[in-house]
Structure 1
Amino acid sequence: MVSAVVDVAYELSTRRREADDIPGALWTTHRGLLAAEESEMLHRQIFLAHHAAGDIDALREAAARLARIDEQLLGGVDMEAETAELLRNLLPRPITRAR
């Protein structure tokens, strides 16, 4: 049952985001996380929605929340490779100045 809830939340969130309904995408994804807080598939949807909205602060907060879940709930496991790669692509790189 939990995987069905996650799958439906993922699909609906994708559809809402593709329709430029970011609040709807986030609402749907957060409902799915009630069933499976540790679902990185759903967390990736949240990252994509915040990125689409241009809300980098919320994206960083969502990434930190997943890191806390991985640490507390799952006993310190690492993020899935797909999740880590997505965050590397979505988060802006710090600007370094040449000297």
Structure 2
Amino acid sequence: MISVRELTKVYRQPARDVVALDNITLDIDDGEIHGIIGRSGAGKSTLVRCLTLLDRPTNGSVVVGSQDLTAVSDTELRNARRRIGMVFQHANLLSSR
């Protein structure tokens, strides 16, 4: 299960703060497959990057199984990412072919 609680991501810029995610809470049960859709700039990529902690959330928690990814060491996070499947929007898997 993936459990997200009060997930917020704010990008700090010199002139202003940009709130990309604002207090997101959701649960994804084992075996479920979800797609994230929305308009450009809606925060889809930021949400997925925060789910895997490729971007660290400003606030909130991401729990995969029983492990809170926002509270683990770098080594534990690398190990946890090996068990998470994700397809990037621009995968470019064979860009050199």
Structure with the larger strand share:
2
TM-score normalized by structure 2? 0.32
- Structure with the larger RCO, 1 or 2 (CA within 8 Å, 6+ apart): 2
TM-score normalized by structure 1? 0.31
